[in-house]
Amino acid sequence: MKKIVIILCLLVIGFASCKEEGFDLYTEDDGSYVLFVRHETDTINFSFFSTGQKTYDYPLEVRYIGVPVPEGGVAKSYSVVVVDSLTTMNRNYVKIPENITFQPWSLLDTIYIGLEKYADLEKEDANGNLPTVTLCLELRGSDEL
């Protein structure tokens, strides 16, 4: 009998403490956002040696968060820029596409950053190590994104 009373008390407490909460949904008023898909990692290692090429189009996945643009709507544009203060790579050997847009109903896109191997990357230091350079990129939205 004692067990039944304890179970009933726990059920009453359990039901009394529950409350219904709705999900927050994106609306057009909330705006739209763009972010790198691999946002949890801040570093990507890349080597021209592994590709066997002097130029390489590095793929970066970008995600669109918000209400998708319906078919026939205006594509939302954004840009990718180099953060000069955090970049040690020679900017002349980086090709970033211009006029990047998310097409209607698109929530995921891949942009390709052109990288070119240059002479300074083949100069060894006193210990025989090749240099390591950094390229820091930032996504910038437009008025509608």
Comparing 7-16, 77-86, 122-131, 133-142, which segment has the lowest mean pLDDT? 7-16
Residue 98 has a pLDDT of 87
pLDDT tens track for 118-137: 888 778 888 888 778 888 88
Residue 18 has a pLDDT of 64
pLDDT tens track for 14-70: 776 666 666 666 566 666 777 777 765 566 778 877 788 888 898 888 888 877 777
Task: Fill in the amino acid letter for 102.
Answer: F
- The pLDDT-based confidence of 96 (bands split at 50, 70, 90) is very high
Q: How many CA atoms lie within 13 A of 23 on its CB side?
A: 3
Q: Which helix (H) or strand (E) holds 111?
A: strand 108-116
Residue 105 has a pLDDT of 81
Asked if residue 114 lies in contact with residue 59, where contact means CB atoms within 8 angstroms, the answer is no
pLDDT tops 90 at residue 141: no
CA distance 100 to 109: 10
CA distance 9 to 36: 49
CA distance 57 to 60: 10
Residue 36 has a pLDDT of 77
- The pLDDT-based confidence of 95 (bands split at 50, 70, 90) is very high
